Structure 1
Amino acid sequence: MNPIPTTSRRTFIGGALAAAVVAPILSACSVNTSGSGGSGSVSFLSTQFAPVEERQKYEATLKKAVGDKANVAYNPVDNPTFNTTIKSQLDANKVEIGLIGGLHGDLVPFAKQLEDLSSLTDELKSRGYSKDLLELAKLGTDKPRYIPWIQATYILAVNKKALQWLPSGADVNKLTYDQFLAWAQAAKAANGGKPVFGIPAGPKGLHHRFYQGFLLPSFTGGQITTFRNADAVTAWTYMRNLWANMNPASTNYDFMQEPLGNGEVLVAWDHVARLINAVSAKPDDFVLAPAPSGPKGLGYLLVVGGLAVPQGSKDRDKAFDVIRALSTKDAQIETLKSNAFFPVVKADIGSDLPPGIALEAKAVSAQQDASGAILALPPVGLGDKEPQVGQIFKNCFQEICLNNADVKATLDKQGAALADIMNSLKVPCWAPDPKADQCTVA
């Protein structure tokens, strides 16, 4: 996939912060969100909002938005289950799923088996989707295959207590990676050798997204094609030094809002949805800021999700009704308030946002608008191999940062495993790697 031009990157989440107003088209009623559904219910299979609290919040949003247009059974599952379920139903020509919701990369493997949503896209175009989002929604085909649904990213959450240890002249909103490391070192020293920085490196933490979308793009300009080059060695050497100044209990953290909330960590990087509880509980205690910049620029990962309908679905029309309802300004803002995913339509988010969400919105905008921003996407088109690729990045952290292994030797070993996967899949590159029909590890 082509890197998105700098001038258009801001339209992704920036459009969600614009002041345009889209008239809501909501219906009133009930939604079956038991997961199993009932007679006549639309099965909504999703890779999003699987944790119990996130699911409950989104089910409430779904119930409020959809009304009596459809009886919906919301079923969030992991990626392998998502892939297997869809593939088996399509292959058997017996599609029971009415609606699927996943990240861009989750939907790519099924691009040509998803309904052509041209008519629905035309119907909803007044809601203000950016051209870039609509282009992504084609999934490499010539027709829109999903309707943009949600978008999010990752940022820094900073307890104000930590600001006293910022390096002289450093701006928390315009940090370099060198300044970030110096800050972590100073904070550790000031706390009697106890590190107060952290990342979600637990069993279910998303720390691999930091390496894929932030560290490597910032140091190498790429994600896959630059995986084991000299710049990558520099990046991982830096990461080892940074880890030495992070709370070692980070290997137990799946969500950084928990250690931020209890004070074990004062500075953390994580997904906006996994920071929001701590920030919402004590908004006056925190500053939210963009990720640091590296030699190549400020790499940041944009998470884009879409709503699609498998070909052959018996609930096609009802699924369209659900998409219409979830694409209104009101439903999109409700998703922002409840699950910290930002609107994909033009929506005036107003001044009545909860304080924690307002802090996130400001940081997200600053990150996208930063000079030298480098947009990165999560892996695209990997299907059931995506967890294996994610594990490779985690393996690098394990070996380099925890086991103190040689950086170059580790990248050569893990790069060979990554190359085998990429060569077997023969999928195009995605941002920020340069356009190529087959993405390969250099």
Structure 2
Amino acid sequence: MSKPHKNVIGTRSVTRRDTIRGAAGVAGAAALGGSLAHGASARPGSGKQASLRAQDSEIIFLSTQLTPIEEAESMRNSILADFDGTVDFIPEDPGPYFDRITAEAEAGSGSVGVLGGLHGDFEPMVADGLLADLTDLAEQLSDRGLIPDYLELGRFGTESNYYIPWMQASYIMCAHRDALEYLPEGLTEEGLQTELTYEQLGEWGANLNDDLGPVLGFPGGEDGLIHRFFQGYAYPSFTGGLNTTFSGPEAVAMWEWFDTAWSVVNPQALTYSNMDVPLLSGEVMVAWDHTARLISALRETPDDFVTFPAPRGPVGLGHMPALAGLAIPNTAPDLDAAMALIDYLTLEETQLLTLSEVAFFPAIDIDLPDDLEAGIQAEANAIATTTSDPASITSLLPVGLGEQGGAYNRVFVDTFQSIAVNGNEIQSVLDEQAENLQGVLDTVEASCWTPDPESDGTCQVG
């Protein structure tokens, strides 16, 4: 069994093998003392325009982030409202996203001006020579407080910057305060922050089930992020790895735990994309999800909920920070306009507006306002507690998969459905899905990424 990789970001620079800072590593930790009232952040206006000027042409902004309808509308109608130019914001799944940029590169010209994506979305594009060198832009923006560790990640082991840090987020637990009376014996509300184990979470769900029915919740719907729960939380916490420990005995133990826990999960979980609505309605009392997909509940009735880190397993506390960046394809039709948009999106005012609107934390080193909105403060606290825990095991989002990103996630969704929903034998399912997982990695010759140890060539599924 591989040893856990702890969150070791400090004063040294990092490579693609290193872990990235959690969503509250800088912004969230600073937020522990401050706040931002929803809609009260300074709006970037004519008095604080970006130093670069957009041209008259429309900028097509293609992004794998902010894809839910509500987030995309906030991007179009609020975050981009004061940009000095016209932007067509187009959310897209990773496969079509990668295919479009590849096709434009092959054609020798393109229409996409700016790309928004995760660190792992960009790696295959860098390998294929699809992205413009943004080193000069990074130097122009040096007064923004761009986090050095994040800039280093965007170099992909080279001397050039291929993306500019944009925003960051993570995943946490959220529970209705009425659920606290059902906590397992010996576990307190305070203990949720530093002591909750997977065994205790299952016991908590069972206690709730005995009185209220199945009210534990995971986002298991078609557009839900339950695959990230396995990739970044359950697998690392039980096995210390991911791909290299996919079908081993520790993985079997993890799936045995989840199979039991699923018996007290609300059956409607297979339809949930976001956990905010079922938490607000009371269908679910305890849930795990992405911070941006919990924020509506925390905004509407913040006093009704508590937030806390995901549980810890036999190996440690797995967690998955999500760093998003901004890049420009080599085929962008207007480089100046594209750089102006990136300039605008990294302004302090725009970063704070993004936090207020969609609950993605800044990717620049800034002090947050003193009156941070209660819901965002609650999320920041949970993330900061996670990343500062000595038992934390940081997992990168999948790296180097390109158009195979969807197929990779599908393996984890299919495994979940086969074991927990359909009741198939765990080891048999894992053995079968391990072959599918290896096929995905072989197709793109993807190396291992944290928490797995570095590989010599294509990552080998264990």
Alignment TM-score, normalising by the size of structure 1: 0.92
**Contact in 2 for aligned 1:156/1:267 (Cα 8 Å):** yes
The one-letter amino acid paired with 2:192 is: V
Alignment of 1:234-383 (within 5 A): 234-383=253-402
Q: Output the amino acid matched with 1:404.
A: G
Unaligned runs of 5+ in 1: 32-37
Which consecutive segments of 4 or more residues in structure 1 shift more than 4 A? Answer: 2-5, 9-12, 18-21, 24-27
Report what 1:163 is aligned to. Answer: 180
Letter in 2 for 1:102: G
1:181 is aligned, of 202, 225, 229, to: 202
Q: Give, in angstroms, the shift of residue 288 of structure 1.
A: 0.8
Distance in 1 separating the partners of 2:419 and 2:369:
45
CA displacement at 1:101 relative to structure 2: 0.6
Matched with 2:423 is 404
Report the CA distance between 1:317 and its aligned residue.
Answer: 1.1
Q: 2:68 aligns with which of 31, 51, 59?
A: 51
CA contact (8 A) 1:18 1:347 kept: no
Q: CA 1:88–1:337 in structure 2 vs 1: closer, same or farther (change >3 Å)?
A: same
Q: Does 1:432 align with 2:456?
A: no
Structure-2 separation of matches of 1:229 and 1:197: 27
Q: In structure 2, what is the equivalent of residue 131 of structure 1? A: 148
Contact 1:157–1:269 under 8 Å retained in 2: yes
Distance 1:409 1:378 in 2: 26
Partner residue, 2:110: 95
Q: CA deviation at 1:64?
A: 4.0
Deviations 1:63-97 (A, max 9, x none): 3452x2x3222111222221121111111111221
Q: Is the 8 A contact 1:217 1:374 kept in 2?
A: yes
Distance 2:228 2:401 in 1: 15
User: Residues 408-427 of structure 1 correspond to what in structure 2 (within 5 A)?
Assistant: 408-427=427-446
What RMSD in Å do the two structures reach over aligned CA positions?
2.3
Shift of 1:134: 1.5
Residue 195 of structure 1: which of 205, 214, 222 is its match? 214
Partner of 2:87: 72
The structure 2 residue matched to 1:14, chosen from 25, 40, 45, is 25
Shift of 1:12: 5.4
Maintained 8 Å contact 1:65/1:325: no
> 2 CA distance for matches of 1:375 and 1:415?
22
Q: CA deviation at 1:337?
A: 0.8
Task: Tell me which residue corresponds to 2:165.
Answer: 148
Percent identical: 38
1:228 to 2:247 alignment: yes
What is the match of residue 35 of structure 1? none
Asked if the contact 2:62/2:115 (under 8 Å) is kept, the reply is yes
The answer to whether the 8 A contact 1:28-1:64 is kept is: no
Give per-residue Cα distances to partners, 1:160-205, cap 9 Å, x unaligned: 00011111222111211111111111111122xx111110111111
Say if 1:47 and 1:78, in contact at 8 Å, map to a contact too. yes
Distance 1:25 1:136, change over 3 A: farther
Q: Higher relative contact order at CA 8 Å, sep ≥6: structure 1 or structure 2?
A: 2
Q: How far 1:10 moved relative to its partner?
A: 4.8
Partners of 1:305 and 1:236 in 2: CA distance: 30
- Post-superposition offset of 1:27: 5.1
Q: Distance in 1 between matches of 2:257 and 2:390?
A: 22
AA in 2 matched with 1:43:
I
For residues 75 and 277 of structure 2, the distance between their equivalents in structure 1, rounded to whole angstroms, comes to 20
- Say if 2:22 and 2:387, in contact at 8 Å, map to a contact too: no
- Equivalent position amino acid for 2:46 in 1: A
Q: What residue is the counterpart of 1:172 in the other structure?
A: 192
Unmatched tracts of structure 2, length 5 or more:
11-19, 35-41, 50-54
Q: Helix, strand or coil: the match of 1:172?
A: helix
CA contact (8 A) 1:156 1:289 kept: yes
Q: TM-score, normalised by structure 2?
A: 0.88
- Cα distance in 2, alignment partners of residues 353 and 12 from structure 1: 16
Which one-letter code corresponds to 2:77 in the other structure? A
Write the letter of the residue equivalent to 2:159: D
Aligned to 2:37: none
Instruction: State the one-letter code of the partner of 1:172.
Output: L
Is the contact between residue 205 and residue 261 of structure 2 (CA under 8 Å) also seen in structure 1?
yes
Aligned partner of 2:125: which letter? F
User: How many residue pairs were aligned?
Assistant: 429
Question: How much has 1:272 moved relative to structure 2?
Answer: 0.7
Per-residue CA shift, 1:15-63, capped at 9, x if unaligned?
1146599xx995539x9xxxxxx97111111112122211111123433
Q: Deviation of residue 4 (structure 1)?
A: 6.8
Out of 213, 222, 238, the residue aligned to residue 232 of structure 2 is 213
SS in 2 for 1:73: strand
Q: Secondary structure at the match of 1:227?
A: coil
